Chains A and B, each alone.
Chain A
Amino acid sequence: MHPVIPYVTAALLFGIGVYGVLRRRNAVLLLMSVELMLNAVNVVLVTADTTVRAALPATGQVFALFVIVIAAAEVGVGLAIVLQLYRLRANIALDTVPLAAPDDTVPLAAPDHTGSPTAAGHAVTLSDEESGVDVN
């Protein structure tokens, strides 16, 4: 067995994941690209477990299991954040998310009890900022 084949596969998967993270606007597609990158790391770990003679046996496979668990936790929290963003903005395009809250007294994750007028105000300022970014 030639270990260079899975190594090259893992490197190409990682590059494709980086491309997807930088290319995609949709937050769910970005999470899918992150999953591709994590899988590339897992392939490297498992392949290294067969090629490298380590002091402890099966260390690479154990770490691959740990990475899979961390990826599951990551995608759970990430999708919760994405769904909350969709509930607030009705849009999950990542380059329309402002990095700073337009009004510091109203935190983004907790709209006040008036509900929809605040959300509409956020949406208006959001579209203004987006057009300004596009002009730049």
Chain B
Amino acid sequence: MTVSDVLLLGLGAVAVGAALLVVTTRHLVRAGLYLVVALGAVAGIYLVLAAELVAWVQVLIYVGAVVVLLLFAVMLTRAPIGPSEDLDRPGWPALLVGGGSGLGLAALLVDAYRWSTVDRDQVGDAQRLGTEIFRSWVLPFEVLSVLLLAALVGAIVVSRPEVGRARPRPPDRGER
């Protein structure tokens, strides 16, 4: 047990515990804040695994953008402040499938890797990853930019029903 093992165990426990709270809490806003804790712990796991750029991109995009979007959606759908009682479906199939897949995958990976040790080679900093992206993965990178543009246009078209209509109509119930 080295220092990185202890760090990985602690951060993994924090991530799994916060994720459990995300899927079990009755407060919508608290679910978003527990998601921040889980994603931050995952970013810490990336740092221990020497994936520096991925860790900071995780903090920037997930904790910075995705969680803020989710909290905006929670507020725009007028979620109640207190606990909500109708958030869950009956849980036995979900527990069966989720627990089965999680524990099954865990057993598979434990059986594959046992207690083997591995040395981290190089730090995945921005220079190394940038060189690799623009040397070997240029085409997927460009396709991803087109995908982001398509998602942007799609989100605008979906959220504005008067796009493509003959005449714009006034907002009906003052919801915007």
A interface residues, Cβ below 8 angstroms from B: 1-26, 28-29, 31-33, 35-36, 39, 42-43, 46-47, 49-51, 56-59, 61-62, 64-66, 68-77, 79-84, 86-87, 92-93, 95, 109-111, 113, 115-116
Interface size, B (range): 35 or more
Q: Which 9 A-B pairs have the closest CB atoms?
A: A15-B102, A19-B98, A20-B23, A9-B12, A22-B94, A73-B151, A11-B105, A11-B106, A23-B94
> Does A23 contact B106, Cβ atoms closer than 8 Å?
no
Contacts A2-B117, A11-B106, A84-B158 known; 13 new A-B pairs at CB < 8 A: A3-B118, A4-B109, A8-B12, A9-B8, A11-B102, A13-B19, A23-B95, A24-B89, A28-B70, A32-B35, A68-B58, A79-B155, A80-B154
Q: Do B161 and A61 touch (CB < 8 A)?
A: no
Number of A-B residue pairs with CB-CB distance less than 8 Å in the complex they form: 287
Whole-angstrom CA separation of A57 from B35 in the bound complex: 31
Write out the residue numbers on chain A whose beta carbons fall within 8 Å of the beta carbon of B98: 15-20, 22-23
Q: Quick one: closest B residue to A116, CB to CB?
A: B172
Least CB distance from A32 to B in Å reads 5
Interface residues of B (CB under 8 A from A): 2, 4-5, 8-9, 11-12, 15-16, 19-20, 22-23, 28, 31-32, 35, 38-39, 42, 45-46, 48-51, 53-54, 57-58, 61-62, 65-66, 69-70, 72-74, 76-77, 79, 84, 86-89, 91, 93-95, 97-103, 105-106, 108-110, 113-122, 124, 128-129, 132-133, 136-137, 140-141, 144, 147-148, 150-152, 154-156, 158-159, 161, 165, 169, 172-173, 175
Which listed residue (A29, A68, A80) contacts B61, Cβ 8 A? A68
The chain A residue sitting closest to B170, CB to CB, is: A115
Contact of A57 among B73, B117, B119, B128 (CB under 8 A): B128
Report the bound CA distance from A109 to B119 in whole Å: 53
Do B173 and A19 touch (CB < 8 A)?
A: no
Q: List 15 A-B contacts (CB under 8 A).
A: A1-B117, A8-B12, A10-B109, A12-B106, A18-B97, A19-B99, A23-B95, A24-B87, A29-B87, A49-B51, A50-B121, A61-B129, A62-B129, A66-B137, A109-B161
